[in-house]
Amino acid sequence: RAMPVQELAGALGTPDVPAPYVVRTHKDQQLAAAVVAPVPVIDHGRLLRKDHSADETAKLRSAIESWGLFMVSNHGVDAAVIESMRAASREFFRQPLEEKQRYSNLICDEQFQSEGYGNDRVSSPDQTRDWTDRLYLKVQPEDERRIALWPAHPENFRDVLHQFTKKCGQLKNDLLRAMAKLVGLDDENYFVDQLGEKALTNARCSYYPECPRPELVFGLKPHTDGTVVTVLMVDDHVGGLQVLRDGVWWDVPIVPHTLLILIGDQIEIMSNGIFKSPVHRVITNAKKERLSVALDYSVDPEREIEPSPQLIDEKRPAFYRKVKVKDYIATYYNHFFQGGMVIDTIKL
């Protein structure tokens, strides 16, 4: 069992970090202050209105083409729901360790499962670990929720997560419709329908403790998301998320009252590479803890995905092969722990 990073951070009497967390290559240690990325903010309300949508659609196109991510304002998720979700997550991580261990992602202290509280599965001795603890829960399909792993404290946690998921689900569908129109698909519900009846939604509450040597570690190693899209509620005070563009790391800014949307591998495949899933990472902070809550949206694991036939022609052949989502996700995690990009394995 790896000690939770939160406990480790509290127990460190020296300004050093344990070897398994130290990033090995010199190239990756260049965590110097990045430039702030001018990521566009899309007004969700305007995007939906027939008379104003052209401007917002152009902004959406520019954001996706330039960054693979964008922020959404006026998104319909009540400020009170967001604030409650943030507070409930913070409260969970502030509890004593024995309380949190009741929801452990280790069965009998040794067998790893993706759901629950803890940190990464350690699959090899030389694996570089991330400076983060997380609570990872399947929220949809609703009949597959493992409520025993949903914290009973704080008392409102389960209800708040349910409300947050419900509100963000509507936003995600609206954005997928706008994105289908953006690439010229005849059916604006194409991406929504591809999700399937048993589409998967996972919630990821991530806690990044203070780190004495931020330049040596990653809060989260460079990766792309293996999702269709990810809806992210970032920390409202502490930055740390960075996106890679043209070989340069850029800081993703904090914009109050917005949600961050990341393009995932699955929609890169379905859009035949018109949308690109961005490589991103999280760096840590020597003086401040950081908290985020993400909703990962994925196609039903039993379904197959491939480039939309409408986005393939002589000029633009299929760039990706057909793949079963369940297999993709399994391969994704193996690559993630080793620091590789799984999408490269299915490019034609």
SS3 state of residue 75: coil
Q: Is there a contact between 180 and 188 (Cβ–Cβ < 8 Å)? A: yes
CA distance linking residue 4 with residue 76, whole number of Å: 35
Residues 6+ apart with CB under 8 A from 126: none
Tally Cβ neighbours within 10 Å of residue 70: 22
Q: Are 64 and 275 in contact (CB under 8 A)?
A: yes
pLDDT tens, position by position, 19-56? 888 885 545 545 555 789 999 999 999 999 877 678 89
Q: What confidence score (pLDDT) does residue 107 get?
A: 66
How high is the pLDDT of residue 49?
Answer: 87
Cis omega (within 30 of 0) on the bond before 96? no
- Omega before 141 cis (within 30°)? yes
CATH topology of domain 5-338: Jelly Rolls (2.60.120)
Decide: 203 and 137 in contact? Cβ < 8 Å.
Answer: yes
Question: Length of the chain in residues, anyone?
Answer: 348
Q: What is the pLDDT of residues 276-318, one digit of tens each?
A: 999 999 999 999 999 999 999 999 999 999 999 999 999 999 9
Nearest to 60 by CA among 138, 169, 175, 184: 175
Helices assigned H by DSSP within 67-156: 79-94, 97-100
CA distance to 131, 190, 209, 212, 329, per residue, from 264 (Å): 23, 16, 26, 32, 12
Q: Which two tokens stand for residue 271?
A: 């859009």
pLDDT of 26:
47
Rounded CA-CA distance 179/64 in Å is 9
The helix/strand/coil state of 322 is coil
DSSP conformation letters of 219-253:
SEEEE---SSEEEEE--SS---EEEEETTEEEEPP
The tokens 């009973």 sit on which residue? 152
Check residue 200 and give its pLDDT: 96
Mean pLDDT by 10 residues, the chain (348 residues): 77 72 60 78 92 85 94 96 97 92 69 75 76 94 94 95 97 97 95 97 95 89 94 94 92 95 97 95 93 98 97 94 92 67 82
- pLDDT score for 297: 98
